[in-house]
Structure 1
Amino acid sequence: MANDVVVVLDCGATNVRAIAVDANGRIVAKSVLSNATQPAQENPTWHVWALDEIMGKLGRCCREIREALNGADARVVGLTVTSFGVDGTLLDAEGNLLYPVISWKCPRTASVMADIRKYIDPDRLQRVSGVGHFTFNTIYKLIWLKENRPELVARATTWLFISSLINFRLTGVRSTDRTMAGTSQLLDLNSGTFSEEILACVGIEPTLFPSMEAPGTVLGTLQSEAAGLLGLPAGLPVTSSGHDTQFALFGSGAGMNQPVLSSGTWEILMVRSAHVDTAALTGFPGSTCELDATPGYFNPGLQWLASGVLEWLRETCWKDTDSATVYTRMMEEAEKVPRGCNGVRMIPDLLIGELGSGAGALSGLSIATSRGHLYRAALEALAEKLAGQLRELEEIGRFEASELIIVGGGSKNHLWNQIKADAIQRPVRAVAENETTVLGAALYAFFGLGRFSSPDAARASVHHDYALFEPGSADLQPIPSQGN
């Protein structure tokens, strides 16, 4: 079993990857290609995904890891697919795409969300589905198609999310990844099934959605045409995964009621919970709740702009600094500034629209203020934002956090991690492994292939490394920590 690997096909918004992972969570081989949307034919400002192009890139990535797999004497025993949420499209009876995959980046659905009240009360929509009001939600794409291309909806026999579209190309089987469905704003969150109420309100037939499959389910086997594209043997089992966020949570090592912060341009704070107060969600801007990878559990969460604020400062104050050293320079200058930034304060609300008012501000400036003050003030303001969001998440999920796990690019900023630990007055664990999404998907795949008795048993075979940041530490360097 030591040389057996699962290949995870990871379709991200920025990159597509093929990554081989063994049963102990070690990455054996990896290949990456950039991914990008295409302009829609009708309007160049609209964004769509070209599925054929994505499949071609996944095939190239998969073929490129063959040499590394051969060198490691690794045997591929299965495939699984993970991707970003909400996006998908309609298929006809023969399996042809009736319309390109509308991207979550596409602005065409903003007006649909603005007018959703003509179909259903927006608060009711979130109370039933759990999912927050984001213009990219699947429900708004389907309504746009109904309103603008009703003849295609009439011809359609199936809606497939993008992970399921890839699975369909691999196996010929139509299915619905459970965690992808959880991002759609079309489910009844508590039952875990498509909501009859919501579908009736927007005029969508429930038969449009194939059977919902839990992560780890064997969907089918790799068909000969897809095998040729990937350079892998036909007949390999293909297991269900789905939405990348859920597998990042699982792959981070987080247990139940242990919140995880995915820190990047946006920060997404989520938790694996047995309880969620869906009525409370409507009172918190940016709140959402999705289905956990494990049936019966939920992932309530909140999101806000984070590193995007820091990038704005980098562009404004360190524009001429070499890109290879700029982040180190920024941290070094901020570390020279005492806590409290000599009275310099920042309101980091730089967004305009549904998740912000564009009311960002700096105060307490003087002739002695340096750009290091500004950067540290942003770190402290964002950490205070995190502390408030964590309190709200505890209320929504009805739990009390003992510590916080951080994954993503922001987790590499040791100064920010320490400031966060001080702000929330709890230990912060920064995960050393960058590929938590891929790891989580691979572990579910090994479970589905019968290598482990449960996903948790699969995860127990993995050693997780962390850097630990204790609140109130005078030393801002991370304390090495190891654990499962």
Structure 2
Amino acid sequence: MGKYVIGIDAGTMGVRCVIFDLEGNEISSAYFETPTVYPKPGWVEQDANDVIELAYKSVAKAIEKKNVDTSEIISVSFTNQRTSWAPIDKDGNFLHNMILWRDQRGAEIFPWAREQLAKHGMTELDLYKRCGHPLGSVQCGSKAFWYRLNKPELYEKTYKMITPHAMLAKAFGADDWYDEESDANWWLVTNGDTFEFDPELCDIFGMDIDKYPRNMKPGTPIGAVTEEVSRKCGLKVGTPLFVGSGDQQCGAAGVGNSGEAGLGSVCLGTAGLCIGYSATPVRDANGKCHVLGHPAGGYTMEGHASAAASSFRWCRNTFSRFEMTAADLADMDVYTIMSSIAAKAPIGSKGTIFLPWLAGAACPYYNDSARGAFIGMTLGVTKSELLRAAMEGICFEMRGMLDALKDAGFHEFKKLRVTGGAARSDLWNQIQADIYGCPVETVNASEATALGAAMIGAVGAGVFKDLAEASRHMVRVKDTYEPIPENVERYNEVYEVFKACYKGLAADGFEQINAYQNKFC
């Protein structure tokens, strides 16, 4: 049948191709950063054509690096940064840059959206009960509403609004613009249980239902590599293409979170996610946790953070320049050096609290005015405390999401599988176990998102009957971090301080800061 499966991941920061064998071992990979532009404060865009060209480039490089026999490639599947999208015309030309999930322009239309709901006798909670999502700026739906209201001439020319999944699938040989149904609820105009577009919700928000993408189940065959594509990236003509899923669902699948009882997953990457699996439809009575599909069938309920480990990247860029230079000279990972510095600080970082909301607060607060901060610093605080406080603050935000999942009816997880850049740090993994009060596991695959996409392709190609069987073959636990009781007790105290810091600033400070930034920045 063949030896290899490929996952192509169009992520927030760049495009990656990973080639795996059928035991989940990485055979080869390549990654290229995607240029990002910021036209206005809070706006974040990329050129969709860059994403496509970098996908070709990453596949070609991954094949070339290890001289992979392309006749042994069984399947190609796709994953992408979720809730990012771009409009195309009937000829497939992009009418606007891709608007990324981190873009906050959707918040501008919240008053209008609430008015539209009220005119139809609905509240935001009613919307959540219908589509499984609260009204938020992360959702592509709010930005699609903004696009219709603020770019009417472009909206009229728009044939489809598509995500990077559809862009890549079509670019590699799919016979139509195929998106995947497990992420349809981000559009805010779907039935949250069936993932079908809801005509009534489209009417409420004045959206043309025909402009939304054609959604398919993960693992559906959608075409094959063409001669033209083969020349661009080196894949063999006829290599089968399969619908994938969003990056976080693929990441969950890539760590085995596809229905195993008591297992949840946490991603500390560019975004932060806490994910639980349900075989049956779910809703959060408080309307805080997202509901999406899972490529194994069933549903995920998620808490979402807009910055997460990106906040630690900000720490690197802002006050760890020396460590970056040292890492470059010593051919080391700069985060290894930063972790070793953070390890010198005590638990709780001498009372220094880091609020990680550099891109606004999502679950459970949903406060787009929230901003990042270090609080509690004294003359005795050093870089060690600042770096550890950043690690701790990011985990406290994740704990808030785990609490939200519990409030929504999920049982406490018996263990959590972690992914993202943070999972490479022993210190950070132990901090996670201590703050969550739950065993934390890492897996062998460093790129769980690409692995999940590749697993979906393998199931689609008939290598495995389902994702559960694929997990047994391709997912392996690497390390386990048990919570240390005395650390758990200490962190429970610090967590209360963390929440109090948010509450104090949310009362007035965040709004004043946000108003100043909107006026002068």
TM-score grouping bracket, smaller chain normalisation: 0.7 to 0.9
Which of residues 164, 174, 179 in structure 1 aligns to 2:177?
A: 174
**Mapped pair 1:199 → 2:195:** no
Structure 1 residues 255, 82: CA separation in 2 closer, same or farther (over 3 Å shift)? Answer: closer
Is contact 1:37-1:103 (8 Å) kept? no
Aligned to 1:220: 223
- Greater per-residue strand proportion: 1
Structure 1 residues 307, 73: CA separation in 2 closer, same or farther (over 3 Å shift)? Answer: closer
CA-CA distance at 1:150 after TM superposition:
3.1
CA-CA distance at 1:268 after TM superposition:
1.6
Q: Percent identity among equivalent residues? A: 23
Distance (whole Å) between structure 1 residues aligned to residue 160 and residue 434 of structure 2:
50
Structure 1 residues 172, 108: CA separation in 2 closer, same or farther (over 3 Å shift)? Answer: same
Distance (whole Å) between structure 2 residues aligned to residue 156 and residue 316 of structure 1:
40
Distance (whole Å) between structure 2 residues aligned to residue 37 and residue 318 of structure 1:
23
Aligned to 1:267: 272
Aligned to 2:55: 58
Q: Which amino acid aligns with 2:29?
A: K
Distance (whole Å) between structure 1 residues aligned to residue 15 and residue 27 of structure 2:
17
Q: C-alpha deviations, 1:54-75, integer Å up to 9, x for none?
A: 2222222222233345456862
Aligned to 1:49: 46
Which of residues 236, 244, 257 in structure 1 aligns to 2:239?
A: 236
Structure 1 residues 289, 322: CA separation in 2 closer, same or farther (over 3 Å shift)? Answer: same
Q: Which amino acid aligns with 2:52?
A: M
More displaced stretch, 426-435 vs 326-335: 326-335
Aligned to 1:399: 411
Aligned to 1:357: 370
CA-CA distance at 1:262 after TM superposition:
0.5
Which of residues 427, 430, 435 in structure 2 aligns to 1:423?
A: 435
CA-CA distance at 1:369 after TM superposition:
4.2
Distance (whole Å) between structure 2 residues aligned to residue 188 and residue 94 of structure 1:
29
- Equivalent runs, 1:9-20 vs 2, <5 Å: 9-20=8-19
CA-CA distance at 1:24 after TM superposition:
1.9
Aligned to 1:344: 351
Q: C-alpha deviations, 1:308-360, integer Å up to 9, x for none?
A: 5545555666554444176445444443444355x524252554752563484
**Mapped pair 1:249 → 2:252:** yes
Distance (whole Å) between structure 1 residues aligned to residue 337 and residue 179 of structure 2:
46
Q: C-alpha deviations, 1:448-483, integer Å up to 9, x for none?
A: 1111211221222124132111111799xxxxxxxx
Structure 1 residues 195, 451: CA separation in 2 closer, same or farther (over 3 Å shift)? Answer: same
**Mapped pair 1:288 → 2:290:** yes
Aligned to 2:518: none
- Equivalent runs, 1:316-465 vs 2, <5 Å: 318-323=320-325, 324=327, 327-341=335-349, 344-346=351-353, 348=355, 350-351=357-358, 353=360, 354-355=367-368, 357-358=370-371, 360=373, 362-363=375-376, 365=378, 368-465=380-477
CA-CA distance at 1:408 after TM superposition:
0.7
Is contact 1:268-1:303 (8 Å) kept? yes
Give the unaligned 5+ runs of structure 1.
Answer: 476-484
Is contact 2:270-2:308 (8 Å) kept? yes
Aligned to 1:299: 301
Q: C-alpha deviations, 1:102-125, integer Å up to 9, x for none?
A: 333445433124532232243333
Is contact 2:184-2:190 (8 Å) kept? yes
CA-CA distance at 1:417 after TM superposition:
1.9
3-state secondary structure, aligned to 1:9: strand
**Mapped pair 1:187 → 2:184:** no
Q: C-alpha deviations, 1:193-243, integer Å up to 9, x for none?
A: 222332121122333335421111001222333333222233222100131
More displaced stretch, 71-80 vs 10-19: 71-80
Q: Which amino acid aligns with 1:439?
A: L
Is contact 1:138-1:186 (8 Å) kept? no
Is contact 2:17-2:55 (8 Å) kept? yes
Distance (whole Å) between structure 2 residues aligned to residue 315 and residue 140 of structure 1:
31
Q: C-alpha deviations, 1:373-420, integer Å up to 9, x for none?
A: 444444444444443432221222422211111111111222222222
Is contact 2:116-2:204 (8 Å) kept? yes
Is contact 2:356-2:390 (8 Å) kept? no
Aligned to 2:112: 115
CA-CA distance at 1:439 after TM superposition:
0.6
Distance (whole Å) between structure 1 residues aligned to residue 97 and residue 435 of structure 2:
45
3-state secondary structure, aligned to 1:278: coil
Is contact 1:109-1:141 (8 Å) kept? yes
Distance (whole Å) between structure 1 residues aligned to residue 86 and residue 319 of structure 2:
43
Q: Which amino acid aligns with 1:406?
A: V
Structure 1 residues 10, 200: CA separation in 2 closer, same or farther (over 3 Å shift)? Answer: same
- Equivalent runs, 1:145-184 vs 2, <5 Å: 145-169=147-171, 170-184=173-187
Distance (whole Å) between structure 2 residues aligned to residue 473 and residue 72 of structure 1:
51
**How many pairs were matched up?**
468
CA-CA distance at 1:16 after TM superposition:
1.4
Is contact 1:89-1:102 (8 Å) kept? yes
Aligned to 2:500: none
Structure 1 residue runs of 4+, over 6 Å off? none
- Greater per-residue helix proportion: 2
Q: Which amino acid aligns with 1:12?
A: G
CA RMSD between the two structures: 3.2
CA-CA distance at 1:10 after TM superposition:
1.9
CA-CA distance at 1:39 after TM superposition:
6.8
Is contact 2:352-2:389 (8 Å) kept? yes
Distance (whole Å) between structure 1 residues aligned to residue 213 and residue 324 of structure 2:
51
More displaced stretch, 319-328 vs 414-423: 319-328
Give the unaligned 5+ runs of structure 2.
Answer: 118-122, 361-366, 488-521
Q: Which amino acid aligns with 2:23?
A: N
Q: Which amino acid aligns with 2:384?
A: G
CA-CA distance at 1:250 after TM superposition:
0.4
**Mapped pair 1:89 → 2:86:** yes
**Mapped pair 1:77 → 2:85:** no
Is contact 2:12-2:270 (8 Å) kept? no
Structure 1 residues 69, 383: CA separation in 2 closer, same or farther (over 3 Å shift)? Answer: closer
3-state secondary structure, aligned to 1:433: coil
